[in-house]
């Protein structure tokens, strides 16, 4: 890269510096007038900027997290891509080949097969395609004890350990509660106000018989 191209990069980058980074750059420019050498190449700027703001061992920690990053631990494939990109930007020495292998290795089998089917061979392409893939749904299921009563019309599937589980229906989906005795809404059979009268009629009919 030529010196002219480096200077163009520097002139563009410093415009976007804010807060502490902007203060650091102004002080750095003032120091040049007294004793420090001027930053003339893009690499010099990267090295000094990293030494000033990048925490020690941060790159090693980011690399370690990147290797342990797994698709199944994320909320979605898109979320996994976002986390991978955040960590990869912290690993400045990450090569294209290593980045691509690490990303593919962390995917679930179905996602790997989809990228292989599309013949993706570059990291940038893999991240772009992965974001556009419609993920195979992983709906969360709420499990309940076997003593819970399933809503009407909902079958209790087995969870594999002998305890049934099912999707709980919302109250507005099932409609208001209704008494099976008087067929009125707002209460259940055991709280029915006419339950006592009904029981008395039944006893009276038994006595007559």
pLDDT bucket at 115, cuts 50 / 70 / 90: very high
- Residue 140 has what pLDDT? 42
Under 8 Å between Cβ of 164 and 154: no
Question: Of 106, 132, 158, which one is at a domain's C-terminal end?
Answer: 132
| Helices and strands counted in the chain (H then E) | 10, 0
CA–chain centroid gap for 90, Å, is 20
Helix (H, G, I), strand (E, B) or coil at 43: helix
- pLDDT, tens digit (0-9, with 9 covering 90-100), for 21-72: 889 888 888 887 777 677 878 888 888 888 888 776 888 899 999 999 999 9
Domain count for the chain, please give it. Answer: 3
Are residues 127 and 63 part of one domain?
yes
Helix (H, G, I), strand (E, B) or coil at 177: coil
What's the mean pLDDT in 79-100? Answer: 90
Q: How far is CA 33 from CA 4, 9, 30, 59, in A?
A: 22, 22, 5, 33
Q: Is the pLDDT of residue 114 over 50?
A: yes
d(CA 90, CA 61): 9
Are residues 125 and 64 part of one domain?
yes
Q: Does residue 41 belong to any structural domain of this protein? A: yes
Task: Determine if the pTM surpasses 0.75.
Answer: no
Are residues 114 and 68 part of one domain?
yes
Q: Does residue 106 belong to any structural domain of this protein? A: yes
Residue given tokens 């061992």 in the structure block: 57
Determine what percent of the chain is predicted with pLDDT higher than 90: 28
pLDDT bucket at 6, cuts 50 / 70 / 90: confident
The candidate with the shortest Cα–Cα distance to 103, out of 118, 115, 117, is 115
- pLDDT, tens digit (0-9, with 9 covering 90-100), for 117-153: 999 999 999 999 998 887 654 544 444 444 555 545 5
Q: Which domain holds residue 110?
A: 58-132
* Cβ-Cβ contacts under 8 Å for 7 (sequence gap 6 or more): 40
What's the mean pLDDT in 158-183? Answer: 59
Which range of 10-19, 76-85, 163-172 scores highest in mean pLDDT? It is: 76-85
Instruction: Indicate the average pLDDT of the chain.
Output: 76
Are residues 62 and 113 part of one domain?
yes
d(CA 128, CA 140): 27
Are residues 101 and 87 part of one domain?
yes
Under 8 Å between Cβ of 130 and 81: yes
pLDDT bucket at 203, cuts 50 / 70 / 90: low
Q: Does residue 68 belong to any structural domain of this protein? A: yes
Q: Does residue 169 belong to any structural domain of this protein? A: no
Under 8 Å between Cβ of 29 and 10: no
Helix (H, G, I), strand (E, B) or coil at 188: coil
The candidate with the shortest Cα–Cα distance to 166, out of 176, 175, 177, 155, is 155
Are residues 62 and 25 part of one domain?
no
- Residue 40 has what pLDDT? 78
Could you tell me which residues are beta bridge partners of residue 185?
178
């Amino acid at each position: 890269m030529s010196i002219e191209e480096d200077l163009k990069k520097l002139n563009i980058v410093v415009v976007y510096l804010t807060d502490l980074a902007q203060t650091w750059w102004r002080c750095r420019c003032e120091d040049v007038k007294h004793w420090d050498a001027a930053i003339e190449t893009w690499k010099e700027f990267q090295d000094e900027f990293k030494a000033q703001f990048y925490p020690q061992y941060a790159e090693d920690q980011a690399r370690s997290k990147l290797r342990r990053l797994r698709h199944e631990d994320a909320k979605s494939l898109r979320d996994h891509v976002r986390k991978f990109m955040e960590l990869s930007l912290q690993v400045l020495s990450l090569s294209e080949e290593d980045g691509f292998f690490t990303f593919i290795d962390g995917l679930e089998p179905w996602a790997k097969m989809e990228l292989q089917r599309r013949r993706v061979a570059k990291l940038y392409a893999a991240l772009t395609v992965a974001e556009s893939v419609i993920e195979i749904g992983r709906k969360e299921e709420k499990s309940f004890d076997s003593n819970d009563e399933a809503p009407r019309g909902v079958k209790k599937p087995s969870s594999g350990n002998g305890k049934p589980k099912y999707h709980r229906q919302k109250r507005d989906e099932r409609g208001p509660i209704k008494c099976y005795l008087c067929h009125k809404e707002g209460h259940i059979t055991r709280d029915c106000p006419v339950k006592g009268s009904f029981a008395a009629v039944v006893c009276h009919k038994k006595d007559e018989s």
